[in-house]
Chains A and B, each alone.
Chain A
Amino acid sequence: MNLVRAEVSRLLSRRFTVIMVIGLFAVFGITAATTLANSTRPTGDAWAAAERTAQERRNSLAQFKVTCQEAFVEDREAAEAAFRQGCDVAADASHIRPELYLEDAFVFTQEISGLTVFLAVYLSFFAFVIAASFIGAEMSSGGITNLLLWRPQRSSILGAKLAALTGCVVAFSLVFTVLYVGAFYLIAYTSGWTGDTGAAFWGELLALCGRGIALSTASAACAFALATLARHTAAALGIAVGYFLIWEAGARIVFEIGGMLPYDPYFLSSYLSAFVTGDLKYWTGLDGAGDLVITRLSGGMVLAGLTAVLTVAAFANFRRRDLT
């Protein structure tokens, strides 16, 4: 426990950590300020305009359904060609609420999911860089060797560093997420519209925040493992950048040009996206029977599996490695 405390102290004293935290707060501040500047509390006229737009949308949906159903009655074959996704593809008219059409107002219930996903991605990037730097610097400078002369238990030393890192990432992500969501709620409450924030909404948002924190923690653990295996911060960052440039971007273009569809299951980002935002339907079959989906569960399992494999490999390698 003392060792973990020492590592926490070391992590929090790093200049790089401080700079990254300042950067994170700066981005948050700019986002919040921009949102605040562009949002006004909806007036009676704004509500009336929004209600009119909502009503037009409801009418349009109702008209679509009527037209669609009539087409199926008249000529089913032609209708299937014209309305491939069926008549129920249109949203339920009862879900069309006027707050969705408020102009110039920040609507919390409408925006916060996207903002939280953005936060999850940003926190993950932040955690990856800090984690790679934290262990990479120790590996390349020989600091970890010095510590091993004091406690020659490699697994304990590496485990203490990983525990300190992931503990700090979880704690920081949690606090920052609460601050982030709270700030946007406050903006909506004072200069926008909070929307229908019932128990179901808060439950979904809480789960989304939890998955965001899990993603950032897994990202930190993966970076820690990569930097341990590669013995250098830059190597871990290089592996990550290389993967995203060569595989996620390059291979995706090749698959697209080669017509090798669907390619989504070959990319890690598909699973991460499914884990955070929900089931990812990457192929739609005719009449909906042949849909291909990466589920949230499979996304989570891939993330957990990748983290576990890298971490185990890092520990196994560090236990046997020559420390020169």
Chain B
Amino acid sequence: MTAVIEINGLCKTFGSLWRDDKTALDGFDMYVEKGQVHGFLGPNGSGKTTTLRTLLGLLRPDEGVLRILDRPSTEFGAVAHRVGAIVESPAFFTPFSGRKTLQLLATAGGLPRGRVDEALTAVGLRDRADEPVKVYSLGMRQRLAVASALLKRPELLILDEPANGLDPSGIHAMRTLMSDLAAQGVTVLLSSHLLSEIEQVCDAVTIIDRGRRVAHGPVSVVLAGHDTGEHLVRVADTERAAGLLRAAGATVRIAEGALFVGGVSGPAAISETLGQAGLWLTELTPLTPDLESVFLDLTGTRPAPDAPPQIAIPARRRPPTDSVIDLDVRSEEKA
């Protein structure tokens, strides 16, 4: 496959006369292949936006090789007409209407004005296009930003938090738009905090933390790499069930009144072991990792168990890690 974006060993440090230098990127690598919808994940301050700005020629790298559409990023001007991009929430001139905003950009880029209506329609803003941007909601401004990126009919679309401020229907529409663009062969690099969206839309992901790549590859491969093979088991007599399963060679942890069972061939083995002892299951769920749990583990951003809740409840159930009592046989042996 052809790499549309190729970043090798990217380093960037921001110097300041008044503060200590801040290293934003420390040897970061990323490859985005043609036709992919590629998710770009990382906690706040991890270097996502710095990467995108450097790629788009807005920042000068200290070290590293960046290529975009087969050209060095220093020659971004040569491929700018093939790249649609929004970086963070772009600032629009609010007295202008959405239509005029796009018309001015089309003028700056030497594009036919007919593209404006096309882009407005694609993001569902055509009916409100003649209103000044100052009356737009955050979500509408975000749609306008995406429309501005679509104006060029780009081969490569770079979107930094495109779902920011969108309501659920807007997020759904954005997801559909991404899929449609991918179907048309547009390569999309999507930076987002909405991990479930990334998981649904993206073919591949790159996860960045503290300026370094911590995971990359197809979504399924990244998830498989973090699959513990555990099952969640609920049963009336938890202690007895744990003993039986350990005796059968499984590793068992007990947490939140449930068993987390690993080292078994599959759910049938658990069911059989406990059924033969007359213990009837009330729940048996294979625990597959989702992107959020992988992200939290890789970036070390999972909240501490005794910390007050700061984020929404996870979309899927996953095994607690730090708060469990480890009943693994090998742990007992060590003790």
Q: Chain A: residues with CB nearer than 8 A to chain B?
A: 2-3, 5-6, 9-10, 13-15, 141-143, 145-153, 320, 322-324
Contact = CB atoms under 8 A, between A and B. Distances in A.
Interface in B36-82: 53, 56-60, 76-77, 80
Contacts, number: 70
A149 B85 contact: yes
B95 interface: yes
Nearest to A141: B91
Contacts of A324: 14, 53, 58-59
B96 interface: yes
B80 A13 contact: no
Interface stretch (B104-112, B163-171, B194-202, B237-245): B104-112
Contacts of A9: 104
Nearest to B83: A149
10 contacts: A6-B104, A142-B88, A143-B91, A146-B91, A146-B105, A151-B109, A152-B57, A152-B80, A153-B77, A324-B14
Nearest to B60: A322
- The 4 A-B pairs with the shortest beta carbon distances in the complex, nearest first, are A141-B91, A323-B58, A146-B90, A152-B77
B138 interface: no
B93 A143 contact: yes
Contacts of B76: 152
Given A146-B91, A150-B108, A152-B57, 16 more contacts: A2-B108, A3-B108, A6-B104, A10-B93, A15-B95, A141-B91, A142-B90, A142-B91, A145-B58, A145-B90, A146-B90, A147-B105, A149-B85, A152-B56, A324-B14, A324-B59
Contact of A145 (B83, B87, B95, B109): B87
Contact of B96 (A13, A145, A151): A13
B92 interface: yes
A322 B59 contact: yes
Contacts of A6: 104, 107-108
B80 A149 contact: yes
B59 A323 contact: yes
Contacts of A320: 60
Interface in B223-280: none
A150 B95 contact: no
B92 A147 contact: no
A150 B91 contact: no
A146 B87 CA distance: 8
Nearest to B103: A6
B58 A150 contact: no
Interface of B: 14, 53, 56-60, 76-77, 80, 83, 85-88, 90-93, 95-96, 104-105, 107-110, 148
A322 B87 CA distance: 14
B53 A323 contact: yes
A13 B95 contact: yes
Contacts of B96: 10, 13
Nearest to B101: A146
Contacts of B14: 322, 324
B56 A149 contact: yes
B15 to A, nearest CB: 10
Contacts of A146: 90-92, 105, 148
Nearest to B109: A150
Contacts of B77: 152-153
Nearest to A160: B108
Nearest to A157: B108
A13 B108 contact: no
A152 B74 CA distance: 10
Contacts of A14: 95
A277 to B, nearest CB: 39
Which of B60, B76, B83, B108 counts the most chain A CB atoms within 10 A? Answer: B108
A322 B59 CA distance: 5
A123 to B, nearest CB: 24
A13 B58 contact: no
A314 B108 CA distance: 22
Contacts of B87: 145, 149
A233 to B, nearest CB: 14
